[in-house]
Chain A
Amino acid sequence: MTERSYVEVKDLRRVFDVSKPWLNRVLEGGEKQYLKAVDGVSFSIAKGETFALVGESGSGKSTVARMVVGLLPPSGGEVVIDGVSMSSKAALAERQRLRRRIQMIFQDPYASLNPRWQVDRIVAEPIRAFRLIESEKEIVARVGELLSLVGLHPADGGKYPHEFSGGQRQRIAIARALASNAEFIVCDEPTSALDVSVQAQILNLMRDLQDRLGLTYLFISHNLAVVRHMASRIGVMYLGRIVEISNGRELFAQPKHPYTRMLLDAVPDVGMTGRQRIPVSGEIPNPINPPSGCTFNPRCPFANERCRAEIPPLLGGVACHAIHEGRLSVDAAA
């Protein structure tokens, strides 16, 4: 890699214990059960870039987001941000300095803002928590500046979250994320709860802020069109693994992995090009008992014995035996 990546995620894993309580296991029998939500995910994000993870529910994309910001400890692997490993015990002081530069925007702007706090207090919280500015007067000025930056009025600081619409609340959440001069923002479905016209406003705002402040985004979404609009590179997740990773244009023009092809075919088409959809079969299997080998094999039209037995590695941006073996040509994408 020519350029040092800003965020480096290496073989990240997360297992959840979903066993029944101990007493039930003893009385009713039954083993401990584990759910591998994230199973060896690696990617890197360059500074100023938007990297997106897309996938359907249960693919583990939000779990990755939570591990990257440190809300959830990984079961394995590590997250390195700007050269500092977030899991090493040694670099405690450095890690704390780094915390300030990482922020998150959540999906539901109704749940992520404290309803009892006025907006200026919400936005000032990171400033106070990290002791970035000591003087109260300067904090007020900075909050006003942040609110104008996200397209709100400085006087809006005196209101409560319920006085704002969904889109405006998401603007407040963005202002809060920027309050600590964050450089890296993890956005977990930031526009899924919003109407399309408001979604357009928020997506435009996020791109403008990126241009102005040089922000780096990890963008999580299930909406392929939104991801295409926002991201320069995209990772497609299926049952806890990245099945394909490529730059945005290429992924949409020439999807390789059978799952990516299926997903793109399934998106309802506003362009009305009259494109015939390939009917999609099946649903995401239960992650507690994922299929052996390639987890996509029960739904894959190209699956063979090897696919059912052996997990395909991510080679050349795609994790698929059929493509690696040349059984499935890359250009044949419909």
Chain B
Amino acid sequence: MTQPVLSVRDLRVEFVTRRGILKAIDGISFDIGKGEVLGVVGESGAGKSVTGSAVVGLIDPPGRIAGGEIWLSGMRIDNLPPEEMRRVRGKRIGMIFQDPLTSLNPLYRVSEQLIETIRTHTNLSASGARKRAIDLLAEVGIPAPERRIDSYPHEFSGGMRQRVVIALALCAEPELIIADEPTTALDVSVQAQIISLLKRLGREHGTAIMLVTHDMGVIAETADRVAVMYAGRIAEIGPVRDVVQNPLHPYAKGLMGAIPSLESDANRLVQIPGSMPRLSAIPPGCPFNPRCPYVFDRCRVERPEPIQHSEHRVACHLYDQSPVRSEAVA
């Protein structure tokens, strides 16, 4: 297999608080290949956004990366000094956040923001950078980019603003784009446009995309593989079609059943009792055990490690056939 663009190994992120250490991310591992879209789903507090922030090195104190490794195309990036990380970020990793209005500076024209970013990461001249900025805006589907480029962010609608943010992320042709809830603030009709834009860009540029969202529908439409997160761990990871249609982990099963669908005629939605534990009170063993309908004694004491099961990797004792725990690392 060729080298993955992003490789995360046993990542741990902690937040030090007065009441003790909170484990926001507790040992997760995954890879994203060239041109691949990895969807990361989970509910609030599952650690999806923290994972994204850890990869780009934007965990602010009191948070800290407590262990594990992050590799970008064969280069370890989790222990880089801040100055070097700053060059990696933006140049090699692009970012798209949920709210396009907060990712753009309201006081500067879009042209200034784009040109500044382009010139920081490439050695284009001012006029070359402007030309490139116009090309980028055209590529993300902004009509009449040579006129629109000198507008201020507030002059764009929400969907257009998100396109500007995507253009900004593409400035330096990064190898990896981290998109954190890129369509959550948008209406469905606009959301569909942004999703197909992201898919096309990934395909054409071979960019690896880590798509963080709580919307299973968006993942199903966009991602190649999906990781379902729960309480700072990956419960299940696998090809998107398998995980959506045939989830193995009880949490993933519950999550899929809880989504009202346009096709099914279920009278009642599947209901997972309770809610995600607080980080200060993650139960021992499997973090899902108090809500799990299939819980047995082992779940309450021993933490399940990810096990390869057909094409999925699932962290659940139900699928552990061997009496001796096998260390499955894929």
Chain A residues near B (Cβ < 8 Å): 56-57, 165-168, 195-201, 203-204, 207, 222-226, 228-229, 252, 262-273, 277, 279-280, 283-284
Contacts and interface: CB of A to CB of B under 8 A. Distances in A.
A98 B244 CA distance: 47
Nearest to A230: B260
14 contacts: A56-B187, A197-B275, A200-B271, A203-B269, A204-B268, A224-B188, A225-B261, A262-B189, A263-B189, A266-B192, A267-B217, A270-B216, A280-B189, A284-B187
Interface string B203-228: 00000000000111110110000000
A269 B220 contact: yes
Interface stretch (B59-67, B88-96, B101-109, B250-258): B250-258
Interface in B158-206: 159-160, 187-193, 195-196
Contacts of B270: 200
A195 B160 CA distance: 27
Nearest to A151: B273
B260 A225 contact: yes
Contact of A224 (B195, B245, B262): B262
Of listed B191, B214, B263, B276, residue having the most chain A CB within 10 A: B263
A272 B257 CA distance: 14
A250 to B, nearest CB: 14
Contacts of B258: 196-197, 199-200
B262 A264 contact: yes
B125 interface: no
A104 B47 CA distance: 33
Contact of B255 (A196, A204, A222, A229): A196
Given A196-B43, A204-B268, A272-B241, A283 B159 contact: yes
Secondary structure call for the A interface: helix
A268 B218 contact: yes
Given A197-B255, A271-B262, A272-B241, A266 B196 contact: no
Of listed B43, B189, B221, B266, residue having the most chain A CB within 10 A: B189
A195 B270 CA distance: 14
Interface of B: 43-44, 157, 159-160, 187-193, 195-196, 214-218, 220-221, 240-241, 244-245, 254-264, 266, 268-272, 275-276
Nearest to A262: B189
Of listed A196, A207, A224, A225, residue having the most chain B CB within 10 A: A196
Contacts of A223: 260
A169 B16 CA distance: 28
Of listed B214, B264, B266, residue having the most chain A CB within 10 A: B264
A198 B217 contact: no
Nearest to A208: B268
A328 to B, nearest CB: 19
Nearest to A165: B275
Given A57-B187, A271-B264, 8 more contacts: A197-B255, A200-B271, A200-B272, A224-B188, A270-B261, A279-B192, A280-B193, A283-B157
Given A196-B216, A197-B43, A266 B188 contact: yes
Given A195-B43, A207-B268, A229-B269, A267 B262 contact: yes
Nearest to B266: A229
A279 B260 contact: no
Contacts of B262: 224-225, 228, 252, 264, 267, 269, 271
A196 B268 CA distance: 14
B54 to A, nearest CB: 22
Contact of A195 (B44, B159, B189): B44
B244 to A, nearest CB: 6
Contact of A228 (B189, B216, B260): B260
A196 B255 CA distance: 7
B275 A167 contact: yes
Contacts of B254: 197
A198 B187 CA distance: 22
A272 B244 contact: yes
A226 B260 contact: yes
A280 B192 contact: yes
Nearest to B275: A165
A201 B271 contact: yes
B267 to A, nearest CB: 8
Contact of B275 (A198, A263, A269, A271): A198
Nearest to A198: B275
Contacts of A268: 191-192, 195, 215, 217-218, 220-221
B287 to A, nearest CB: 14
Contacts of A201: 271-272
B160 to A, nearest CB: 8
Contacts of A226: 260
B301 to A, nearest CB: 25
A194 B157 CA distance: 25
Given A56-B187, A195-B43, A283-B157, A270 B244 contact: yes
A222 B188 contact: yes
Nearest to A271: B263
Nearest to A59: B187
Contacts of A252: 262
A56 B191 CA distance: 11
3 smallest beta-carbon distances between A and B, as pairs? A268-B217, A195-B43, A200-B258
A264 B192 CA distance: 11
Contacts of A56: 187-189
Contacts of A229: 260, 266, 269
Contacts of A199: 258
Given A203-B260, A204-B268, A283-B157, A196 B214 contact: yes
